[in-house]
Amino acid sequence: MVTSALNRNLKRNRSFLALILSMVLLPGFLTLSSADENSAAGPLDIDGNGKYDALTDGILLLRGMFGLTDTVLINGALASDATYTTGVEIASEIDGLGDSIDIDGNGTADALTDGLVILRYLFGLRDDVLINGVIASNATLSDASDISAKIESLMTKIQQPALSSAIITSDAFKATGSDYLNLPLAYTCDGVNGGTSPALSWSGTSSRTTHLGLTMHSVNSDGSATFQFSMFNIPSTVTSLAEGDFSIGTVAEGDMTSEEIAAAGGIAYAAPCAAGAGLETLYVFTLYELDAALELTSSATHSDLQTALNKLSISSVPMTTRRIRFDAASLASNLHVPQNGTFNCAEKTAHFNQYSVMHSSISCNESTNQFTVVSHIADGLKTARSDQQLQVGISSWIGRLSLPSQSGSTMRLTPSYLSETSNNISCDGTGVLGFSVDGQVILPYYKQSNNAGIGDTCGPSDGEDYAGRDTVVLGEVDQCYGHSPNGEGYHLHGAPICLMDVHDPSKPVAYMTDGIPLYYGEAGGTIEDTLHAQSARSVTDTNFGAGLYEHLNFSPSDVKDGSNPLNECNAYDINGDGAVSGYAYYSTKDAPYSIGCFMGEVLASGTNAPAANTKLLVERNGWSGQSVGQAINVDVMANYSGSFNGKTYNITEVMPGSSNVPSFLTANTMAQVLWRILDSDDTGYDSSTTCFEFRYRANKSITGNDETEIVCAEKPVGDATLDFTPFGN
């Protein structure tokens, strides 16, 4: 939503306003502007006298935008025939303008840009002299004629400011804690099949709105705009845009050829495709509210539509996103590849702070060579979309649920590199390998087994065949390579692939406990062609990463051409000199997925990772006849929030097939497990801990035969953790 532009905290005195006026007034431009005698004044008639005057309305507006109030706001600036004569009345008129005075369309109404350009216009300045030096660098309107048209719309049309509280959202966008949402990969030219348009939704539009406009544009380095799509005459009753679907209104197709539209899947969407190495580009989605349909057709260009929207919209609401991209040329030149594998406290902290919303604390101790992160939840940064829902895609399910659970890890700050690979990973498959930058613990890819390798440590030369214990091959992890352990939390058995929809490929996706960073190289897709799948003769239909990332390859060029391949640990010898310059790890599509051994010395065994899984006092029983913890043959289909009996539950849906059906389920019939945190008015509530109600439903269509149980946690789950679940505040 457009930031309120009145900046009340920026109190300025009269001498400063005098300075501003000296910036505005140029020789030869002292023509005053007023309303036409045959037309009523519009919203820029601040003092309500039916005329526009730079020395009254213009000065009042600029003072208000600088935060002046009361008598300081109006002294010497009211017309003799003003209707509004008090500071309170004038401030109300200015406040009522809302986002309509965001003249340059950058999402913020600012005194030093929008305020000054309005004042210049009222003084009679036109063309380039109107806009020189007063247009924001990220403006969507930068042409003098467009700016003039926007100001004129506030002078020629009588209307009360729209009572709008509209917002734009998307279930596909992830809030990382930065100033902007990150535009997901799927909607850029690097997405599958060249990218498609994103799913969007909106709410809070004005009751005066009859039609809507919706646009997406890139903010170029020179401040100009390149439009990805423009849509108009959307009925005001419509509240969402489906991914890849432009059927809700009329699309301006005048800037694309029929061949370009066909190549984009039949819609007029020009997927953003920034050129350069690590270029950060802003992408703005704008919702326009209108009180009448626009008289345009689909042959309209972006410019045609923008002119109409700027003149006729009663409100506009932007949502700004960003994307960092390396184009093909920069990838081929290895401009995304690290020069060494060592990062200091500030650099490593910055890598985790890309996802600051996830972390409750980050600490770094150079004297002990330790770096510690504690995160609010173990789930990492996911979305509500089906392709990132927890546990969805598992085909061999142990019945565990992803309860709200804190996560954390301690790792080396500076690696101490080993000269060769060794067997130095835990044989039981539960040893912590590392921690993703969005807060997920990474464990070895193989499941726990009593028949492990030689001794307590396993690795590339221990003689053990891990293919039969590969959690990925066996279908025991979800689309993001994760599942819930016996502690009812969540962890990964591969690289954090689902982070790549928003991640900068030149930054680590994780750090391993030996302090060496893990980067995204390759990952995802179905695994029937991998060596482990062939060896184990076990195939899963799970499309890891939901098919969104398997076409990507951010590996160094000498890894791609085979001249400097990854070793058995998935380590890349950065400069070809081994431990001298050090290593970086890269993810792979086949085992070990993240790393197969450590190329650096790990922390002492007594160093505990600060995880806090939500462990229950007793094991859940599950359905009658079920042994929670033992795998059953069902496909986990969905994991979402829903209502039942007036309460909000987290719901996991599972579907058994036609064979090997568990005795407590029915073939080809969707079953559900529901759980919620007990409220203070529930029977069984215990204020000293956190208690959960579980409901087991063998047929989702039959709600009267649920088996239920209440189980409490060993200790209370913190509020900060609960705030990252559907059951938070």
Strands, E assignment, 238-387: 240-241, 250-251, 277-290, 315-326, 359-365, 370-375
pLDDT at 609: 64
Q: CB under 8 Å to 499, separation ≥6 — which residues? A: 380, 381, 436, 437, 438, 509
- Residue 35 reports pLDDT greater than 70: no
Q: Of 40-44, 426-430, 444-448, which gets the smallest average pLDDT?
A: 40-44
Whether residue 700 contacts residue 671, with contact meaning beta carbons closer than 8 Å, is answered with yes
Say what the pLDDT of residue 80 is: 86
pLDDT at residue 160, rounded to an integer? 44
Of the listed ranges 313-322, 432-441, 643-652, the one predicted with least confidence = 313-322
pLDDT of residue 156: 62
pLDDT band for 462, please (50, 70, 90 cuts).
confident
Helix (H) or strand (E) holding 216: strand 211-219
Which residue, among 93, 77, 65, has the nearest Cα to 154 in the 3D structure? 93
* 321-345 tens-digit pLDDT: 999 999 999 999 999 999 888 889 9
Distance CA 433, CA 449 (A): 17
Q: What is the pLDDT of residues 504-514, one digit of tens each?
A: 999 999 999 99
Task: Pull the structure tokens for residue 36.
Answer: 């036409």
Q: How far is CA 496 from CA 23, 331, 382, 479, in A?
A: 53, 21, 11, 10
CA–CA distance, 6 with 449 (Å, rounded to integer): 64
Domain ranges of the chain: 14-135, 167-331, 336-609, 632-713
Q: What is the pLDDT of residue 605?
A: 58
Q: Which two tokens stand for residue 591?
A: 């085992």
Query: What HEC string does 390-424 produce?
Result: CCCCCCEECCCCCCCCEEEEEEECCCCECCCCCCC
When pLDDT is averaged across residues 688-702 and rounded to a whole number, the result is 96
Residue 66 clears pLDDT 80, i.e. is over it: yes
Residue 616 is given by DSSP the state B
Q: Report whether pLDDT(27) > 80.
A: no
- Token representation of residue 719: 């509020």
Percentage of residues of the chain with pLDDT beyond 70: 90
Is the pLDDT confidence value at 310 over 90?
no
Alpha-carbon distance 379 to 373, whole Å?
14
Percent of the chain predicted with pLDDT > 90: 62
More confident residue, 33 or 501: 501
Give pLDDT, residue 539. 62
d(CA 103, CA 94): 14
pLDDT score for 466: 86
Per-residue pLDDT at 31 exceeds 60: no
List Cβ neighbours of 236 (8 Å cut-off, separation of 6 or more).
205, 209, 210, 211, 212, 289
Rounded to whole angstroms, how far apart are CA atoms 19 and 392? Answer: 62
Q: Is residue 541 a contact partner of residue 555, using CB atoms and an 8 Å limit?
A: no
List all residues 6 or more positions away from 103 whose beta carbon is below 8 Å from its beta carbon. Answer: 109, 113, 114, 117, 118, 141, 147, 150, 151
Q: Which residue has the higher pLDDT, 30 or 292?
A: 292
> Contact at 8 Å (CB) between 628 and 398?
yes
Residue 61, pLDDT > 90, answer yes
Average pLDDT (516-524) is 96
Mean pLDDT of the chain: 87
Q: What is the pTM of this model?
A: 0.78
Task: Give the pLDDT of residue 86.
Answer: 85
pLDDT at 4: 31
- Closest residue by Cα to residue 328 from 406, 276, 264, 269: 276
Q: What does the pLDDT read at residue 204?
A: 93
Rounded to an integer, the average pLDDT of 612-636 is: 90
Given a cut of 60, is residue 173 above it in pLDDT? Answer: yes
CATH topology for the 167-331 domain: Phosphatidylethanolamine-binding Protein (3.90.280)
Residue 163's pLDDT band, with cuts at 50, 70 and 90, is low
Lowest pLDDT segment from 11-15, 274-278, 373-377, 562-566: 11-15
Residues 6+ apart with CB under 8 A from 228: 197, 216, 217, 218, 269, 270, 271, 272, 283
b/e for 164-194, b at 16 or more Cβ within 10 A? bebebebbbbbebeeebbbbbbbbbebbeee
Over residues 598-626, the mean pLDDT reads 83
Are residues 194 and 188 in contact, defined by beta-carbon separation less than 8 angstroms? no
> Among the listed ranges 368-372, 382-386, 544-548, which one has the minimum average pLDDT value?
382-386
Exposure string of 350-362, with b = 16+ CB inside 10 Å and e = fewer, is ebbbbbebbbbeb
Contact 350, 363 (CB under 8 A): no
Q: Is the pLDDT of residue 519 over 90?
A: yes
Residue 89 has a pLDDT of 81
